[in-house]
Amino acid sequence: MRTRFASMFGACWGRLAACTAVLSLAGVAASHGAESAAALKLRFGGDQTQTRVVLELDQAARAEVVSDGAQDGHVVLTFAKLKVGDDLDGQGKGLVKAWSLEKGLGKARLSFDLSRHGRITRRFLLPPSDGVTSYRYVMDIEAEGAAPPPQPAPTAPQPARTRVLKASSILPSAPVVIPDPEAPAQVAGLQKVSLTDLLATPRKSSVKTAAKAVAAKKVIVIDAGHGGHDPGALGNRSHEKDVTLAAARTLKARLERSGRFRVVLTRDSDVYVPLENRVKIARAAGADLFISLHADSGGDPKVRGATVYTLSDHGVDRATHSVFNGGFIDVQLPGRDLSVKQILLDLTQRTTRNRSGAFAETLLEHISTETPLLRRSHRDAGYMVLLAPDVPAVLLEMGFITSPEDEAQLNDADRREKLMGAVAEAIEGYFADPASAPTQVATQ
């Protein structure tokens, strides 16, 4: 039965074109030399204030900025070693109205027409990692001046101007409706509420509740690892519990300055909070995202770098066991049939894991400019703080406290501010994408 539901909802998840513009550039270079890179994909994310452009390449490449967009809203970069078979163009997203990739005399020219004046604020190259085989040349474009009035979100994918537009299928772009098989036959008036509203015991399933949830600020729960009698890992001059609390407070202040979030800390002092209570705090707060901050440790002081964890298959089994065997995760599922409840929980967990994974990748891209990453920087584990079936969650190991370089960074206020600023930017970018909107279910 799980296979049948996976097939049915896999078809729904394939309709993502409105969520993230992913432009496939396969075939850009019919043939290329060993020293020249080939463009594989061009992706966009963000909004009319900030837009991220990611050019995927089969090998490393360097670019020169000819125009950063500040003068005329036209961004131009040239790549000295980028093979282009045919001139290509297409539609963008956010600040980018349109793009083109053209071959020239010894150089490839990548251009963006902006919807308003903006400029490139950051560029960096990410090497292959964590199963991603391509290099990623990342550009952040930020608007200048007052933001334009908000436009209604598109209800269907925007058509491409050329044959190269291709949609991604990471997350659903339309509500997934799960009817309760045991509901009365008169289903014409079914109400829709978010999965979070459905699964949290104190919340009521109503259109009014769902509307308020959409209009409210996004709720971010920040968990400072360890605390009290549990010091966590020990460095040469600091304890993990102290650096995580300092980072949590810094991140909270940074997010609250934006005015877009309501931030909850699982602890705001040197106290011990049981792991299951941290999950309960997140669910009780109606969290849209949970991030647990930690500092890693190892036997070799030369090992350093950040890592992000999301829930493993073993963790999913732990959460399922807790739900159906009287554990600490109290989830109320509709209907009386156990098999139906299991299917609903499975669908919920799958959607939540997809969102967690999407945020983890966004988080790694942002923090990579402020701190080194381990070679395999996105990992999975069954940590208890990641078990909530209805709250996207990640655990961020900010670095190795046993590394002198990482420990110095974790204890330096300025560098901590920059690292948490990158985390905040990742959170802002994640929620700027329509794919982060709550999935919908139908209840009786």
Domain count, the chain: 2
Listed residue (181, 170, 215, 177) closest to 193, CA to CA: 177
**Of the residues 143, 177, 210, which one is the last residue of a structural domain?**
143
Average pLDDT of span 101-106:
69
Q: Decide if pLDDT at 401 tops 90.
A: yes
**How much of the chain, in percent, has pLDDT values that exceed 90?**
37
Among 116-130, 135-149, 169-183, 374-388, which range has the highest average pLDDT?
A: 374-388
42 and 139 share one domain:
yes
Neighbouring CB atoms inside 10 A of 369's CB total 16
Q: Decide if pLDDT at 396 tops 70.
A: yes
Query: pTM of the predicted model, to two decimals?
Result: 0.55
Q: Decide if pLDDT at 65 tops 50.
A: yes
Q: Which residues of 47-155 form beta strands (DSSP E)?
A: 50-57, 63-68, 74-79, 82-83, 88-91, 96-103, 108-114, 118-126, 135-143
Among 43-47, 274-278, 395-399, which range has the highest average pLDDT?
A: 395-399
User: 305-345, pLDDT tens digit by residue?
Assistant: 999 999 999 889 988 888 888 888 888 777 778 888 888 88
Average pLDDT of span 67-79:
82
Q: Decide if pLDDT at 157 tops 90.
A: no
Q: Decide if pLDDT at 371 tops 50.
A: yes
pLDDT band for 245, please (50, 70, 90 cuts): very high
Q: Which residue range(s) make up the domain with 256?
A: 191-443
135 and 263 share one domain:
no
Q: Which residues of 8-73 form beta strands (DSSP E)?
A: 21-24, 37-46, 50-57, 63-68
Q: What angle do CA 147, 150, 155 make, to 5 degrees?
A: 140
111 and 230 share one domain:
no
User: How far, in Å, are 24, 28, 245, 431 from residue 88 at the CA level?
Assistant: 11, 8, 49, 30
341 and 197 share one domain:
yes
Neighbouring CB atoms inside 10 A of 104's CB total 11
User: 108-129, pLDDT tens digit by residue?
Assistant: 888 888 888 888 888 888 888 7
Residue 151 belongs to a domain: no
Question: Which of 95-109, 194-208, 246-260, 277-291 is predicted with the least confidence, judged by mean pLDDT?
Answer: 194-208
Q: Which amino acid does the sequence have at 339?
A: S
Q: Decide if pLDDT at 100 tops 80.
A: yes
Residue 329 belongs to a domain: yes
Residue 264 belongs to a domain: yes
Question: Which CATH number goes with the domain that contains 269?
Answer: 3.40.630.40
Q: Decide if pLDDT at 11 tops 60.
A: no
Q: Which residues of 247-282 are buried (b: 16+ CB within 10 A; e: fewer)?
A: bbbbbbebbeeeeebbbbbbbeeeeebebeebbbbb
Q: Decide if pLDDT at 4 tops 90.
A: no
95 and 217 share one domain:
no
Residue 39 belongs to a domain: yes
136 and 209 share one domain:
no
Quote the pLDDT of residue 60: 85
Phi and psi at 221, nearest 5°, equal: -105, 120
- Packing angle, helices 404-411 and 413-432, rounded to 10: 80
- Which position has the higher pLDDT, 152 or 72? 72
Dihedral (CA of 274, 276, 280, 283) sign:
positive
283 and 340 share one domain:
yes
Quote the pLDDT of residue 6: 41
The sheet with strand 261-265 has its strands ordered as 261-265, 218-224, 289-296, 393-400, 306-311, 373-381
With contact defined as beta carbons under 8 Å apart, do 347 and 175 qualify?
A: no
Average pLDDT, the chain: 76
